[in-house]
Copies of this chain bind each other. A is one copy, B any other.
Amino acid sequence: MYRQRLWSVLAKPSNIPNSVAGPSRNVQCRKIVFEEFGDPIKVAKLVEDTVPDTAGDDQVIVKMIVAPVNPADINTIQGVYPVKPTLPSSPGYEGVGEVISVGSHVKHLVPGDRVIPEGVIGTWRTAAVFRSSELVKVDKDIDIHAISGISSNPCTAYRMLHDFVNLNKNDVIIQNGANSACGQNVVQLARHYGYKSVNVIRKRPEPDLGNLKNRLTSLGATYVLTDEELRTTDIFKSGALPKPRLALNNIGGKSSTEVLRTLDNGGVMVTYGGMSREPVIVPTASFIFKDVQLRGFWMTRWHKQNAGTVQRQQMYDELSKMMKDGELVAPANKTLPLESFKEVLQNTMSTKGYAGVKFFLDLQQL
């Protein structure tokens, strides 16, 4: 439907001369680029570009629909992410699009397929050329906001619940930053597996606090506590809940110390973010006498080490099914047109941007 409409727009000949001589014509598209690392508001620009109208042998031409904006994108533009692209570059590790044209060697995709790019950078554009191996076909019935971000937050939540502690039904997990995009996935996956979740959030004024608690509870949170409530809670002492065997730390600093304190003997804390910009502080006695383990997780490394593996496909299948069944929903989100990218960047960088609302770029040209 909108595919036809959009492509008819995309297919207009570019005003920019085609630098490659040949039978294929180029069609116009738009993208975000940055030519130097720095403040995203200053260095990111919206520019015109072109893609060919016919795909080469192993190529797939995709018109993009929507792309999430993650903190990792911000850090990449700032030049502080461990992955540093060659400049000039286009940002965006995630997104969802529809196949327009496939090369003669491409077997697993046909025009009209819905796809997500995997292991690439540069999704913040209205159309793109990918190698077929860079695309995963996804179900058209799944909400585009949920599926476009599957490779980061849902996958991170999934792996952290699978790869560190052998959890059983009714086991307890605890996490801080529970209202983050990843945190909301953890809540829903924990409910799906029958784990009890203790979810820690920053205190905020009412009615925001109550609304956030209600939202997380509706997603499946067993308990939602502010940092201060965690310090004084008796849910573990009273025996209302067994002590957590797994803690997920997205914040660092004091918050991580408090979360760590609740862990059961032999428990594991996995750090996957550091929003407070403070290090993780661990009392020596926790290591020696409680035998806690501190580990870290980075989804990018996992994807790199597990490209094309069976367990990667199993994860995507399971998460996709949950999304289709409505068991795993995208975080509360706001989608703005590509032209408003500065507003999106600003919101993702500000504290406000982390308050449970995730921003997306609408990549459909009108």
Map CB proximity to B onto A263-280 as digits: 1 under 8 Å, 0 otherwise: 000000011111000011
**Residue from the list B283, B285, B290, B295 in contact with A287, Cβ < 8 A:** B295
B298 touches A288 (CB 8 A): yes
The reply to whether the CB of A7 lies closer than 8 angstroms to some CB of chain B is: no
The reply to whether the CB of A212 lies closer than 8 angstroms to some CB of chain B is: no
The reply to whether the CB of A220 lies closer than 8 angstroms to some CB of chain B is: no
CA distance A183 to B294 in the complex (A): 23
Q: Which residues of B have CB within 8 Å of A82?
A: 285, 289
Q: Which residues of B have CB within 8 Å of A283?
A: 279-280
The reply to whether the CB of A162 lies closer than 8 angstroms to some CB of chain B is: no
A292 touches B296 (CB 8 A): yes
Q: Which residues of B have CB within 8 Å of A252?
A: 284
Q: Which residues of B have CB within 8 Å of A289?
A: 82, 296, 298
**Residue from the list B272, B290, B294 in contact with A294, Cβ < 8 A:** B294
How many chain A residues touch the partner (CB < 8 A)? 28
A298 touches B291 (CB 8 A): yes
Report A127 CB to chain B, min CB distance, Å: 32
B287 touches A271 (CB 8 A): yes
**Residue from the list B274, B281, B295, B301 in contact with A281, Cβ < 8 A:** B281
Report A290 CB to chain B, min CB distance, Å: 8
The reply to whether the CB of A130 lies closer than 8 angstroms to some CB of chain B is: no
Closest to A271 in B: B287
**Residue from the list B271, B273, B281 in contact with A280, Cβ < 8 A:** B281
Map CB proximity to B onto A326-355 as digits: 1 under 8 Å, 0 otherwise: 000000000000000000000000000000
A271 touches B288 (CB 8 A): yes
CA distance A292 to B274 in the complex (A): 15
Closest to A251 in B: B284
A291 touches B287 (CB 8 A): no
B294 touches A293 (CB 8 A): yes
Q: Which residues of B have CB within 8 Å of A271?
A: 282, 284, 287-288
A293 touches B293 (CB 8 A): yes
Closest to A256 in B: B284
The reply to whether the CB of A78 lies closer than 8 angstroms to some CB of chain B is: no
Report A249 CB to chain B, min CB distance, Å: 8
Question: In the complex where A289-B82, A289-B298, A301-B291 touch, is A274 in contact with B284 (Cβ < 8 A)?
Answer: yes
A287 touches B293 (CB 8 A): no
Closest to A253 in B: B284
CA distance A293 to B297 in the complex (A): 10
Report A309 CB to chain B, min CB distance, Å: 18
CA distance A273 to B283 in the complex (A): 11
The reply to whether the CB of A217 lies closer than 8 angstroms to some CB of chain B is: no
Report A10 CB to chain B, min CB distance, Å: 38
The 9 tightest CB contacts between A and B, nearest first, are: A287-B296, A274-B284, A294-B294, A271-B287, A280-B282, A82-B289, A288-B298, A288-B296, A279-B281
Q: A271-B284, A279-B281 are in contact. List 14 more A-B contacts (CB 8 A).
A: A271-B282, A273-B284, A280-B283, A280-B287, A281-B281, A281-B282, A287-B296, A290-B296, A291-B301, A292-B296, A293-B293, A293-B294, A293-B296, A294-B294
Interface, chain A (partner B; CB < 8 A): 82, 252, 270-274, 279-298, 301
* 16 contacts across the A-B interface (CB closer than 8 A): A252-B284, A270-B287, A272-B287, A274-B284, A279-B283, A279-B284, A281-B281, A282-B282, A287-B294, A287-B295, A287-B297, A288-B297, A290-B296, A291-B298, A293-B295, A294-B294
